[in-house]
Amino acid sequence: MSASFPPVPPSDLPATLGELRTSGWESLPVHEELRRNTAVRIAAGQPLVERVLGFEDTVLPQLENALLAGHDIILLGERGQAKTRIVRALTSLLDEWVPEVAGSEIRDDPYKPVSRPARDLVASEGDATPIHWVHRDSRFSEKLATPDTSIADLIGEVDPIKVAEGRYLSDELTLHYGLVPRSNRGIFAVNELPDLAERIQVGLLNVLEERDVQVRGFTVRLPLDIVLVATANPEDYTNRGRIITPLKDRFGAQIRTHYPPDTATELAIIAQEARPPVDAPGAPRVEVPAFMAEVVAELSQLARQSPHVNQRSGVSVRLSISNYETLAANAVRRALRLGEAQAVPRVSDLAALVASTQGKIEIESLEEGREDRILSGLVSAAVLTVFRRRCPTEELGPVVGSFDDARVIHAGDDLPVSAYTAVLAELPAIKAPVLSLAGSETPGAVASAIEFILEGLHLTKRLNKEAAGTKATYRGRG
């Protein structure tokens, strides 16, 4: 049975203010709550944020410092750098359950209620005031900043229905609270902060410094207990807006994120996040060779270094994940058409990555049609890099020597694995390096390794290649 959301609080928790006092529960500001739980997790040697890789020595130590210091945080980084994942993971550092005055719109602390309805209820009911328990997952609010976001959305506005019911405009009970007050005693996140209009950003100044909000001309002061976390892409400062200086100054910590520093980290993220075609009864079994997964990761790494790719826009980790899933899908499509039980990606499947790569990177070229050539060049460079890393050149000399003037080997994403099994008999010299690379004698793995070695020999200018779409013919250079 799946867990309910929001979770149901345990039945033994205090149900009234009097019971809460008797239980010994203590009220802590959210910053202190985060500080305490962060310290516990660090002392226990546990990761602060789960499922975020490559930040162990860079971003996460800065995040630990910010939380221990009780700071509001802004995460700066290009797209696809796990900023939102980090923000959402902060809820795990909150206490699992906290009490609120029952019926409160802004999660009033039973010991220190700040809204008028909660204050009135506590004053009239005393220790009999009913208590409701809030799970930490409900103490997180998130807003994607857009130019049309208003102060009413964030802070609040007069509710015309309440006015129509006979209340005075000056009555605090006419207010409809916005997202920020409703995030009281929790975490409020603003994604893409520069997209928020500058006049709206001004409305957050009091939240960060004085810890209160004011609505229009009312003499209403709500001393909020809130942690504000924001994300931003540095490129947005010039393209779509900027963070006003007074607001930026009020964030205690500015943490810069980054892309995976190496291929190994990129591969670990792919293994964690990618969702290749699901095995089902009668469907082909998917097996992605390690060297093919490495090509996918290397492609993203090379794209982040390419002068032909707009680096200010960034090359998201989502590119690696999408490319891996597309590579596996192309192999499954072939296996389904050929009636094969195993789907193993090959070099000829890499042509399918053009579709999953376009739109995720921005090519800096005005020449029509050059984008495909640049992407194909990056794919070839990735194959060559992995080939040099995995295949010792000296072991492949006999393979090259086996190609005489008449010998040709055909490859393509439409060929069955049986066509590659025949290559082992035709080129005995290739068997040892193929089996070493494949790490398996299954026909699909052997076919993938054969294509990879042939393509690597072509890219190192030791074999000629004639290509037409996803089909290729390899022959000697003599």
Confidence of residue 44 (pLDDT cuts 50, 70, 90): very high
Dmax (CA) of the chain? 99
Write the pLDDT tens digit of every residue in 208-223: 887 777 666 555 677 8
Which of the listed ranges 290-299, 364-373, 458-467 does the model predict with the highest average pLDDT?
A: 290-299
Beta pairing class for 285-286 and 408-412: unpaired
pTM over 0.85: yes
For the CA atoms of 245, 251, 252, 255, what is the dihedral angle to 10 degrees?
-90
Write the pLDDT tens digit of every residue in 258-292: 999 999 999 999 999 998 777 667 789 999 999 99
Structure confidence at residue 14 (pLDDT) = 95
Question: Residues in the chain, how many?
Answer: 478
Confidence of residue 64 (pLDDT cuts 50, 70, 90): very high
Alpha helices in 76-204 (DSSP H): 83-89, 116-125, 151-154, 160-164, 179-182, 198-201
pLDDT at 136 over 80: yes
Contact 91, 137 (CB under 8 A): yes
Which of the listed ranges 6-10, 114-118, 134-138, 392-396 does the model predict with the highest average pLDDT?
A: 134-138
Contact 380, 351 (CB under 8 A): no
Average of per-residue pLDDT across 307-322:
90
3-state helix, strand, coil in the chain (%, to 5): 45, 15, 40
pLDDT at 314 over 90: no
pLDDT at 4 over 80: no
pLDDT at 172 over 60: yes
Instruction: Find the angle CA(442)-CA(448)-CA(453) to the nearest 5 degrees.
Output: 125
Write the pLDDT tens digit of every residue in 103-129: 999 999 999 998 888 999 999 999 999
Structure confidence at residue 152 (pLDDT) = 83
CB atoms inside a 10 Å sphere around CB 366: 6
Radius of gyration of the CA atoms of the chain, in A: 30
Taking the C-alpha atoms of residue 62 and residue 71, their distance in angstroms, rounded to an integer, is 11
Beta pairing class for 471-475 and 175-177: unpaired
Contact 140, 6 (CB under 8 A): no
Structure confidence at residue 413 (pLDDT) = 87
3-state secondary structure of 293: helix
Structure confidence at residue 199 (pLDDT) = 86
Confidence of residue 232 (pLDDT cuts 50, 70, 90): very high
Write the pLDDT tens digit of every residue in 173-197: 677 788 998 999 999 999 999 888 8
- Helices vs. strands in the chain: H and E counts, helices first: 21, 16
Structure confidence at residue 363 (pLDDT) = 86
Average of per-residue pLDDT across 18-35:
95
Percent of the chain with pLDDT over 70: 91
Please state whether 369 falls in left (phi above 0), alpha (psi between -120 and 50) or beta. left
